[in-house]
Structure 1
Amino acid sequence: MTTAQQRLHHALDALDTAGRSAHPGPPVGGCEHCWTAEDLALLSGPPDLLPNELLRRAAVKSADLWYDFPTLYRRLAPRILRQLTTGVLADGELIATRLRAADWRKWPHADLVTEVLDAWWSGTLEQPAPPTHVPTVLETVAATTDTLAPWLRTWADTATPTADRHLADAVEGWLHWGEVLALKFGFYGEFEAGPELTEWLLALPPGRIPVDQRYWLELIVSPPPRES
């Protein structure tokens, strides 16, 4: 287990402990067309006892379907983040959008959420075959925190063959879809990432990304003038 994976393990455990020590919220209420009385009763109880499928549904459903979404999501966040960061739960861009809607920065244990995200990102860059694709993890952590800078700084500082292979693969995907400058993160595209990401890529030292990728990025940023 790497240092980053150990950090993630400890951060998830600390988040679990903080969640268990918090006062239980009011009974969970929500759209009765979407949730049965049994669902709502289970969601009102200990999060550790929730069936995985019910947890997944609660993790991704719209905030408008709940009477007190921030309180519910704060209670479920330790399990949601554990499953997300270990590859059990997908839909990272949607989880990021839900965390934003839950106003997670105002939670008493918001620092632990940040630590989980930071350890997850560092650990992902270290793994040759992480359970969640690197661009998806970047989108999730950036959209959740509403910033790219610290995550890109970590990637720049992780100058390893594995991290650089992830970088080349990510750029290849962004170039393939022709969306680098217009790239937006989050389920609803809440976070505009393209310009900052492109500028960062072009500022990397030579050799961090393949020459042909740098060429295409430069061409996208400064296309040649059209012939009249």
Structure 2
Amino acid sequence: MRSHESRFTVCADAIDPCPPLRLDAALEGLAGTFRGMAAHPDEYNCDCHWGSAEELAQLKVADVVLEPDLLRRTWKAVDWEFPGEVLRRILPQLAGELVAGRVEPLFGMEEVGRAFARGRWQAWPDEQAAAVREFLCAWWAHTLTDPRAAVPAYEVLACCAEASGTLTPWLAAWAAQTGPVADRRLAEAVDRWAYDLLGDELPWDAWEGEDELCAELTGWLVRHAPARLRSQGAPEELLHRVRLLGLTGEARWEDPHWPGYRY
């Protein structure tokens, strides 16, 4: 289990004037930082449910491009003996696949974030941790500014929150990025999250601290979402969902605009 106190601090320049260039540089930074790294020589995983000995051997050789299915099984596995080394081995390729939208978890992108967290990357040497941190920051900035971003903001947020153990810097960056793309991403997210949040549930499966994360996300939306949704011409129904998030108990359920959700 992770500590509730995260060591993650968002990059001071999280809102970059050229997010695409920043993201390219961050991906190059990962490739350079983790070039030559491989899984621990003693690493093992059961060949009856994870994969073959030949596939495991590929993880112990640096810089060999993995087949998509092998990459997927590697980041999803929760029982590595040396998860940090495994994460270092696959990070450059995994990051590229994430940005391209070619990583499709069974339940949600929070699964990928937990793969980062299992590797305990924030405790790595400074240069390595900084490369991971910069990738996450750059990917988030790209998501909020590029209309061609392949992964929805609500999925990237879940991934980054689980990877870093905190929501705060990602929401701060979203608050600071007020362009039309960021506002549109917010409208999409509210539409996606409303059912869960109105039931006081976090819209993704958090590793820990779910109640606290839910309260933080709800409070942030109540403060920041209404004006930005109006700027996007969001339907009144969606605006009422956000307003209802600011109410509790019977005041929420008995409001004339309560959508009739059953939990």
TM-score range, shorter chain: 0.7 to 0.9
Matched, 1:19 2:37: no
Contact 2:174-2:182 within 8 A present in 1 as well: yes
Match of 1:196 among 206, 216, 222: 216
Contact 1:8 1:116 in 2 (8 A): yes
Which residue identity lines up with residue 15 of structure 1 in the other structure?
L
In the TM superposition, 1:29-68 aligns within 5 A as: 29-33=44-48, 34-62=50-78, 64=79, 66-68=80-82
Change (3 A) 1:88 1:74: same
User: How far off is 1:7 after superposition?
Assistant: 0.8
- Pairing 1:10–2:25 present: yes
Tell me: CA distance 1:206–1:30, structure 2 relative to 1, closer, same or farther (3 Å).
closer
Q: 1:155 to 1:13 in 2, by over 3 A?
A: same
Counterpart secondary structure, 1:47: coil
**Structure 1 residues 49 and 216, CA, compared in 2 at 3 Å: closer, same or farther?**
closer
Deviation beyond 6 Å, 4+ runs, structure 1: none
Secondary structure of the residue aligned to 1:88 is coil
TM-score by length of 2: 0.76
| Structure 2 portions without partners, runs of 5+ | 1-16, 231-235, 255-263
Asked if structure 2 preserves the Cα contact closer than 8 Å seen for 1:146 and 1:191, the reply is no
Superposition map of 1:66-85 within 5 A: 66-85=80-99
Q: Counterparts of 2:241 and 2:102 in 1: how far apart (Å)?
A: 35
Report which of the two has the higher share of helix.
1
2: CA distance between counterparts of 1:183 and 1:12?
30
Aligned pairs for 1:106-185 within 5 A: 106-108=123-125, 109-178=128-197, 181-183=200-202, 185=204
Following the alignment from structure 2 to structure 1, what is the Cα–Cα distance between the partners of residues 246 and 208? 22
Residue 227 of structure 2 is aligned to residue 207 of structure 1? yes
Higher alpha-carbon deviation: 115-124 or 22-31: 22-31
1:90 and 2:104 correspond:
yes
Shift of 1:176: 3.9
Looking at structure 2, the residues matched to 191 and 205 of structure 1 have their Cα atoms a distance apart, in angstroms, of 23
**1:60/1:47 CA distance change after superposition, 3 Å:** farther
Alignment length (residue pairs):
223
1:162-197 CA deviation, whole Å, 9 max, x = no partner?
2111111110111144557311545x5435222111
CA RMSD in angstroms, aligned pairs only: 2.5
Superposed displacement of residue 46, structure 1: 2.0
Partners of 2:73 and 2:98 in 1: CA distance = 13
What is aligned with 1:28? 43
